[in-house]
Amino acid sequence: MTALDLSSPVAVVGTGTMGQGIAQVALVAGHPVRLYDAVPGRARDAADAIGARLDRLVEKDRLTAADRDAARARLTPAGSLAELADCALVVEAVLERLDVKQELFRELEDIVSEDCLLATNTSSLSVTAIGGALRHPGRFVGLHFFNPAPLLPLVEVVSGFATDVTSATRAYETARAWGKTPVACADTPGFIVNRIARPFYAEAFAVYESQGADPATIDAVLRECGGFRMGAFELTDLIGQDVNESVTHSVWQSFFQDVRFTPSLAQRRLVESGRLGRKSGQGWYDYRDGAERPEPHTAEKRPAPSYVVAEGDLGPAGELLAMAREAGIQVREEDEDNGTRLVLPSGGELHLADGQTSVEFRDVVYFDLALDYRRATRIALSACQDTSPQVLAEAIGFFQALGKDVSVIGDVPGMIVARTVARIVDLAHDAVAKGVATEEDIDTAMRLGVNYPLGPFEWSRRVGATRVHDLLEELSLREPSGRYAPSLALYRHAHAADSREGTP
């Protein structure tokens, strides 16, 4: 099944920001496009707005004047749904209400031809439920674009329970012909991105709620250590706290209040107070005129230890040994079967975050997972009140000698990056096991949809499924709500990895 022919008219119903964006994508790709909105005059206004954006593309040399003029000639505001009768594809981008969408598609089904592909851009409703209102739901599919649609490449192509393979394939190929990067997805709450991205926000909020660190520090660690484009607090301020919480709540409810998707009480209070982020002037941060952005906690300068003893395999943190030698710190390596750690001159120990806490041990300082320890500019450390000040000072000095800013947070199991990545990896493994999408499509979706530095399976291979599984098990022991219990899919991957490595 191939993409729609460029001569085939495409209709977009709903002319808000997303509807206009989808229409622009189809228009620039070369299709005749019809715009319809139930409110009189809006379709014409939307056509004018799209024309203005095409003008800006010409000014930026991203579109020729001739192509702009041809595109404008192909764009037609429709005064009624009946004017969409000859369209080969109708994409809906109206109010996120099931009854509204179902009624719209019932009307469309009486107007368009039997081979017209019908699509919804819903981000939170069931594609199956919307299509269930149709006499022929096999031709119904989800085409979930990301805002702004003309700029962001990802499109989730969602097959409902009754969607025909031919319809899904045609939608997939059409999105690709439009210059997008489509990923195939089953109809599951949140699809790919909004399902698997929940821990990025949830774990940051959980660390904050446990008073482990303030928003500015958590955001800085996610960016400068984890390699994420933005931290969870600044990103939700940009998205809108009400919008982000609504998606989280929808996914949680759709999964029958699964504890893995439980919304944040702190975010709920923020929404209740009207602090919705940038659009309201205040969110986690203050955006009003004259407000100062809070700085992340950064430890004062400490002397570097003269040496460290490396015991066991540091796994994803192994690069630290070469970096320490380059910084003039002597490294002694010893083979140990009972642990992986760096022993400091004081006798204290540095451990990569593993889901345990410092209070359980004598003078153990944890350090967080980094995307790339060489390129990271900040490292988070975690210690308890009983940790020796000398041990903590040596730990701080060690990472400062490697050129890192150091943020000391509370005694939080799994810290910040490590627990966030572990939960994202776990949800991704679970999604594949349940037929939501392939590993490749999930990695593509998370990189392109939310700009993650690595896809979940790339993280899994880098960190190791066994290490991720064990961290979640330790977290689950300390917070036994079920939120951190590793999935059966991750258990299987970890067990298979152990078997390949010869672990009994």
**List 31, 144, 429, 469, catalytic entry:** 144
Q: Identify the H or E element spanning 40.
A: none
Helix pair angle (456-463, 417-433), 10° resolution = 120
> Which residues in 294-304 are b (16+ Cβ under 10 Å) and which e?
eebbebeebeb
- Which of 299, 317, 326, 297 lies closest to 401 in space, CA to CA? 326
| Residues 321, 328 contacting (CB under 8 angstroms) | no
Q: Is 194 a catalytic residue?
A: yes
Instruction: List the beta strands (DSSP E) in 353-501.
Output: 364-367, 378-382, 405-409
| Residues 270, 283 contacting (CB under 8 angstroms) | yes
| Residues 141, 173 contacting (CB under 8 angstroms) | no
Total residues found in the chain within this entry? 504
Q: Are strands 341-343 and 364-367 parallel, antiparallel or unpaired?
A: unpaired
Q: Is 103 a catalytic residue?
A: no
Distance between CA atoms of 496 and 24, rounded to whole angstroms? 47
Q: Is 123 a catalytic residue?
A: yes
Distances (CA, A) of 50 to 36, 150, 152, 363, 479: 14, 11, 17, 62, 51
Backbone angles phi, psi at 162, to 5 degrees: -105, 5
| Residues 411, 469 contacting (CB under 8 angstroms) | no
Alpha carbons within 13 A on the beta-carbon side of 486: 26
Six token digits for residue 217 = 């520090």
Distance between CA atoms of 459 and 453, rounded to whole angstroms? 9
**List 31, 92, 109, 123, catalytic entry:** 123
Instruction: List the beta strands (DSSP E) in 14-152.
Output: 33-36, 75-77, 89-92, 117-120, 140-145
Q: Are strands 89-92 and 154-159 parallel, antiparallel or unpaired?
A: unpaired
**List 92, 156, 311, 474, catalytic entry:** 156
Q: Is 147 a catalytic residue?
A: no
Active site residues: 123, 144, 156, 194
